[in-house]
Structure 1
């Protein structure tokens, strides 16, 4: 969290506080932070009965207490009573700034500076107002000029650091914060923000040390404590992070901070496999509804057995049912509403889908829970919008919204659908980036049309929803619902006349506010419509206009760099750890039993290494059951850079697709490098990605109908060089069919063009 200094009561009031006025005690109260006392005493009198200085003091106390309009009335009265000085004008400007009346605030600051050009506090607050008014270049110039004149004014260097960090100018921001700390070395907010910059520069250990310095200066700094806990997670010190999250939760924090701390704590427990500790924490909460809500975070990343999966799924379903009962009639008047509402902003149910079952019933329940929690605040935004009006002469307004509007697996593919709309006069395109990060892919989304960077939070929800609605969208694509809480929230309200989700997270939303699920005909089974709460729309083949994956090198040195044997065939299973369902472990065991020379490569979990250890331990038991030593057949690689990841397909013998949740992007990458992928399609779309690609490539030889056949195909590739070479040759010959599929884009545009004739589903 980035901190901004608040407008403070200025120093140097001695000219105001004349002994004859008898008001010294009010000034002392203000200096001691007792604004409420001043407000209470002066409010006993009718406003018009106050003299000018009394009105000024009431205005100051009102401003400090957040009564900004009342403060402005008081300052106006002070001026009418001929009590006017640079301080009255300055504090009027502060109150105008507090109510976002920036034009008038800037005029008032300038008026005060005309009286005293060296009024340091006024110069500083003028720069802050420019920053908040998004006049960034002027704000930076004012801050730098102030620091030239008054280099030890630490608030200005702190504010300059905040501005520079806002624009990701992190090295410069670090220098600004260090300048601030030279003057005020125990300033916890500056240490906190310096830590954030260091973390952004990937100097994680320095960031951790800086947060600790902040806590040495002020052990009650909630920002330093929270960021320290989160930084410890990034260096995989989850046990230490748990201690810091526990300390954070003991501080006097607001409901959203408390929810964020609990989410962080639960995540650490899950990474370490400490499920009982997670349940114990949930049960320690006083309110039963909070206990139930928090328990929805608790899902294993790796399961021990198929029976284990079934037990967890049954428990989760029971928790959903219980929470639905508990939230019946839930309203903002409820004493735990703010806490429950805050937790709603951290829940995704991401790991639920990796149980590999029909999620529709559970997602419908989860969507209803979100509806009951959000409705007291956002009910008016859940109603259908008026159907499209007009004769079709106006452009159709199309939006895409995500917290991952960058080079991210959940979203970048959507450019293949949306690129044809750019410069097409029949469409106006709006891209809404709800995340902090931006890159070259973000720029491509921005180039589609109107680009808005928005912060969708509990505090900004209504304003952001209103802003998006003001764009009067006909259609909105949310490509990755289920991967991030903000996407789930967006899918719970009506932002456009028609709303759709797609391939980014291949699970139904269960939400009444999502009308369509856009998929590929090749990825769906005959009864696929029954898997979705949305209306299923099938685009041709894979349903994607996918770009040719970039290849940086051909992997010539990978075996030596990763200490892999030169004489053994490498079988790739470079998938996320949570994709491995226990019922499919037998395929790895049987392939290695049939062809002992095979070496299967996995990639380590992105979080704590114990997650990969738990998967390896499970596999090791299965191997031992048939007399095999898993150490001789399996290897877990550390997390791979993109260039190495793709290059492994160049040196691999073939790739073993994860059953039940296929590789998506990774299968495209494998085929682009001529690497065979053995796949077994299952019931749901997430288990049929590679099937669609193999059908485009016309390679049924690599499609298994059972786990036994899956093993047979892999072993045949290993034993029959002619067959393996034939598969590689055909993939190289046909792989271009998978990429730049313009017909998919054309069908997407046809779908959009037909929307004005559709009746709104909801």
Structure 2
């Protein structure tokens, strides 16, 4: 064979080899495509065989190795998959897809740094590979490199604006960034998350997870209605999404839709019974509905599932405290803090519980710790600054309370100015009734309460108020937590509602409380419209009701004992807003126009005691009806008293109404009278305060060389039926000097029990005196402490003469009805409302039929 023949033969062989390789690659490609089909059908093993056959036909075909790696990964063989991807890269070093798949495998198995390296190599080869940028973002997020992850997602979207996965992951990242700190929220990244989710959902509106995360972002922004809409979208796509049901419940709770919130939590728990957070959220809403036992059960169930759930322990503590289980509440708070020492709300809750137990130093330490964690939290700040003694132990401590309150006001005002724009929950903080116990200390507190009132009003978002069109009847809204057996209802409110002229007034009652009894049914029957926490929930709900009802007058029988009442009273919601003496001291609020009291309760200079314009109604300013009850026996008390000699004085008041300055007076009475008994009634909520009061009184008795155990007898608080028996077993009712009691004195005279009172400088020290003046029994009203003691000695001597004793009791029982059914009070109340409205340009006179405004309607 010649040389040219040899070259020709070699060329023909090479051509045959090339043709053979082309044929093999074509066959391999066909096998790969078959493998794709099989893999899509879930027949991974058969697909694997196709890929291996392809590799045998074309060992250097990178695509075959890539698909083999994908199949191995689907089988869970990570190492085999990585080897296959590496082989693909050996045969094709610039194979970006192989690096991408290798990175995905590494990412799925938690090899995040390796995944980042693989993705970055893919991007060196193909910089505009959008899916790789997106996957790189996922790996960086898992490594905690959040800013770099966001950059990767944004680059993916620059390249491919319709890449839905990048929008989803970017939104999640931005939401997570919010949770890392308040500073990131101020940067607006949560808003950016919302924007990204909206963009994503325009591209793919059926992505349930995107709707869910959008709802979470909106919820954290306080956009509850929009958040609820997002969660509803989730549930339209995934009805069994337990987390969406639970989070929907949270926003419904915040919107005041408690029944709907409970239904959402219960649905979440049907889907996921061991969902601790849903049990805890359910507990929070049940508490707001006043279902405390059920709320406690929900929190306890959450803790059975998740024993290290600090927030649930803290919330359980709140419920236990409201149930009167104070020691258990403190233990629950402490357990929460063992789990999470930085749970600020648990420190604050613990502080409040300790304060109510009289442990003021420990309470202060708890408040300070809460503020170290959340220095801008206004609720914690108010609790700490106004941590004033409930029952001072010394005269000096009691005298210092107003000055301490003054100092607290200044400090809080300074903090408000310094923290403007950073403080949280300011309105809620200032509605925590930090002024309540100030009323129990001597002095004119109008200046202090007015400063506080200005502070509250300035911090309140004032709702736009527009006077309503003229109507035939004056529409009166009454706001109270006490449409039930309570002194506010029995003494102030009941008689007004029963006797109000309904030809001139429409009555709308707002019951902000949860407790009900037979008197609640009476109140409901006396209303044109009744609203309560079953139909209205949360501050916004009550504000919406006000906007719908458009009252001419709002009447607050008391301001100071109920948080929601104070929330509403701080706003201008009607042309005329008035209060009364359910809490017998000025409200201090610039939004309250009139304060209704009684001419027999007020001294001549009383106008200077009120920020509001004082209105002196006839008599005691109330139209009461006697409470007909059959007394129930107290055999143990009767037996105990039978062992004691001498007159029986009863002082049926809570311990914080006793001022230390008056302790010595009671000891002096005992010394002057001789053998006698002072019966004190202990409130279970303030057992500690009663113990301290007994310590105080004991010291006063010992200073007079008297054995306190022979004179002082403490009995537990009893129901009204048994309280009447307690009064019957007593000889003399001693009124507290610093804070008089109208209801107890009223009950005492009904039982014929002499009431000794000192008529002080302020209405809150003149309530019993006003009652006695009303019934014409004034010989037990003292003007000084010395006269108080002299009358006590005289009454004690009278008790030793059964005839004189019984005669006085008969006279008191005969006179007692003079205190009741004074309808002139109601007529004066009506007249003053109409005149005050006329001063404000609103005149109410009957109009021709058909020309008055539309009747009331319930807001949707």
Q: 1:299/1:110 Cα in 2 relative to 1: closer, same or farther (>3 Å)?
A: closer
Match of 1:730 in 2: 811
- 1:14-46 CA distances to partner (integer Å, 9 max, x unpaired)? 99xx99988778889999999998776444426
The residue number in structure 2 matching 1:427 is 505
Select between 515-524 and 271-280 the one with higher mean Cα deviation. 271-280
- Correspondence for 1:228 among 288, 299, 317: 317
SS at 2:357's partner residue? helix
Return the match for 1:397 from 475, 481, 484: 475
2:834 is the counterpart of 1:748: no
Change (3 A) 1:726 1:586: farther
Higher relative contact order (CA closer than 8 Å, sequence separation 6+): 1
Please tell me whether residue 683 in structure 1 is matched to residue 761 in structure 2: yes
Of residues 565-574 and 644-653 in structure 1, the stretch that sits farther from structure 2 once superposed is: 565-574
Mark the CA change 1:548 to 1:29 in structure 2 (over 3 Å): closer, same or farther: farther
Q: 1:516 aligns with which of 573, 594, 616?
A: 594
Please give the alpha-carbon distance, in whole angstroms, between the structure 1 residues aligned to 2:451 and 2:248: 49
Q: 1:158 to 1:36 in 2, by over 3 A?
A: farther
Structure 2: gaps spanning 5 or more residues: 1-40, 43-73, 75-100, 105-130, 177-189, 843-860
Instruction: Please list the CA deviations of residues 572-592 of structure 1 after superposition, one character each: whole Å capped at 9, or x if unmatched.
Output: 101011111233234322332
In 2, the alpha carbon distance for the partners of 1:285 and 1:162 equals 23
Q: 1:438 to 1:281 in 2, by over 3 A?
A: same
Between the aligned partners of 1:246 and 1:162, the Cα distance in structure 2 is 16
State the shift of 1:684 in Å. 0.6
Q: Distance in 1 between matches of 2:340 and 2:261?
A: 38
Q: Which moved more, 1:36-45 or 1:609-618?
A: 36-45
2-side partners of 1:472 and 1:426: how far apart? 16
Structure 2 CA distance, aligned partners of 1:476 and 1:661? 27
Q: Is the 8 A contact 1:474 1:498 kept in 2?
A: yes
* Secondary structure of 2:497 counterpart: helix
Q: Measured at CA, do residues 561 and 237 of structure 1 come closer, stay the same or move farther in structure 2, by a change above 3 Å?
A: farther
Q: 2:676 aligns with which of 595, 598, 617?
A: 598
Distance 1:276-1:313 versus aligned 2 partners, 3 A rule: farther
Matched, 1:588 2:700: no
Tell me: CA distance 1:321–1:171, structure 2 relative to 1, closer, same or farther (3 Å).
closer
Q: TM-score, normalised by structure 2?
A: 0.67
State yes or no: 1:218 paired with 2:291: no
Task: Find the residue that maps to 2:546 and give its secondary structure.
Answer: helix
Distance 1:246 1:523, change over 3 A: farther
How far apart are the structure 2 equivalents of 1:745 and 1:590?
43
Is the CA contact 2:758–2:769 (under 8 Å) kept in the aligned structure 1? yes
2:590 pairs with 1:501: no
8 Å Cα contact 2:194/2:217 also seen in 1:
yes
Partners of 1:38 and 1:283 lie apart in 2 by 36
1:49 aligns with 2:164: no
1:745 shift after superposition: 1.9
Over the residues paired in the alignment, what is the CA RMSD in angstroms? 5.0
Answer yes or no: is the 8 Å Cα contact 1:127–1:142 preserved in 2. Answer: yes
Q: Is the 8 A contact 1:387 1:759 kept in 2?
A: no
2:647–2:675 CA contact under 8 A, matched in 1: yes
Query: Which of 351, 370, 374 lines up with 1:265 in the alignment?
Result: 351
Matched, 1:75 2:201: yes
Residue 125 of structure 2 aligns with which residue? none
- Alignment: residue pair count: 689
Following superposition, the deviation at residue 352 of structure 1 comes to: 1.7
Task: Give the drift of 1:632.
Answer: 0.7
CA deviation after TM superposition for structure 1 residue 275, in Å: 4.8
Q: Aligned match of 2:420 in 315, 332, 337?
A: 332
User: Counterpart in 2 of 1:526?
Assistant: 604
- 1:463 Cα deviation (Å)? 7.0
Question: Take 2:242 and 2:328, find their aligned partners in 1: how far apart are those partners?
Answer: 43
Alignment partner of 1:719 is 2:797:
yes
Is the helix fraction higher in 1 or 2? 2
- CA distance, structure 2, for counterparts of residue 173 and residue 238 of structure 1: 15
- Asked whether 1:474 is paired with 2:552, we answer yes
Residue 362 in 1 paired to residue 448 in 2? Answer: yes
From 222, 244, 250, give the equivalent of 2:334. Answer: 244
Shift of 1:75: 2.0
Distance (Å, rounded) in 1 between the aligned partners of 2:660 and 2:775 = 30
Alpha carbons of structure 1 residues 292 and 148: separation in structure 2 relative to 1, 3 Å: closer
Residue 722 of structure 2 corresponds to: 644
Classify 1:656/1:421 alpha carbon distance in 2 versus 1 (closer, same or farther; 3 Å): closer
Q: Which residue, out of 281, 284, 309, partners 2:398?
A: 309
Contact preservation (8 Å) 2:225, 2:251: no
1:81-104 deviation digits (Å, cap 9, x = unpaired): xxx578788889999998536997
1:346-399, CA deviations, whole angstroms, 9 ceiling, x for partnerless residues?
342222222221111222232233345x15xx2x44x8x555653xx3432222
The structure 1 residue matched to 2:434, chosen from 332, 341, 348, is 348
- 1:655 touches 1:676 (CA, 8 Å); kept in 2? yes
Most deviating of 361-370 and 549-558 = 549-558
Conserved in 2, the CA contact under 8 Å of 1:559 and 1:565? no
Question: For residues 46 and 737 of structure 1, do their structure 2 counterparts lie closer, same or farther at Cα, with a shift above 3 Å needed?
Answer: farther
Q: 1:646 to 1:42 in 2, by over 3 A?
A: farther
Task: Please give the secondary structure, in 1, of the residue aligned with 2:821.
Answer: coil
CA distance in 2 between counterparts of 1:568 and 1:47 reads 98
Change (3 A) 1:702 1:149: closer
2:53 equivalent in structure 1: none
5 Å-filtered alignment, 1:5-16, equals none
CA 1:760–1:251 in structure 2 vs 1: closer, same or farther (change >3 Å)?
farther
1:632 and 1:148, CA in 2 relative to 1: closer, same or farther beyond 3 A?
closer
Q: Measured at CA, do residues 30 and 520 of structure 1 come closer, stay the same or move farther in structure 2, by a change above 3 Å?
A: farther
Instruction: Tell me the residue number matched to 1:100.
Output: 225
Contact 2:431 2:563 in 1 (8 A): yes
Deviation at 1:699, TM superposition (A): 0.9
Structure-2 change in CA distance of 1:48 and 1:612 (3 Å): same
- Which has more radius of gyration? 2
2:785 counterpart of 1:699: no
Deviation by residue 1:542-589 (Cα, 9 ceiling, x = unmatched):
111223234242435252476763765322101011111233234322
Q: Is the 8 A contact 1:524 1:685 kept in 2?
A: yes
Distance 1:329 1:573 in 2: 45
Q: Deviations over 1:650-675 (max 9, x none)?
A: 22112111123111211121122222
Where 2:600 maps in the other structure, the secondary structure is helix
- Once the two structures are overlaid, the 10-residue window that deviates more, 104-113 or 539-548, is 104-113
Shift in alpha-carbon separation, 1:735–1:102, aligned structure 2, 3 A: same
In terms of mean alpha carbon deviation, does 272-281 or 736-745 score higher? 272-281
CA distance in 2, matches of 1:594, 1:89: 79
Following superposition of structure 1 onto structure 2, how do residues 152-231 of structure 1 map, counting pairs within 5 Å? 190=298, 192=299, 194=301, 217-218=307-308, 221-225=310-314, 227-228=316-317, 231=320
Aligned counterpart for 1:757 among listed residues 822, 835, 838: 838
Compared with structure 1, are the counterparts of its residues 149 and 50 closer, same or farther at alpha carbon in structure 2 (3 Å cutoff)?
closer
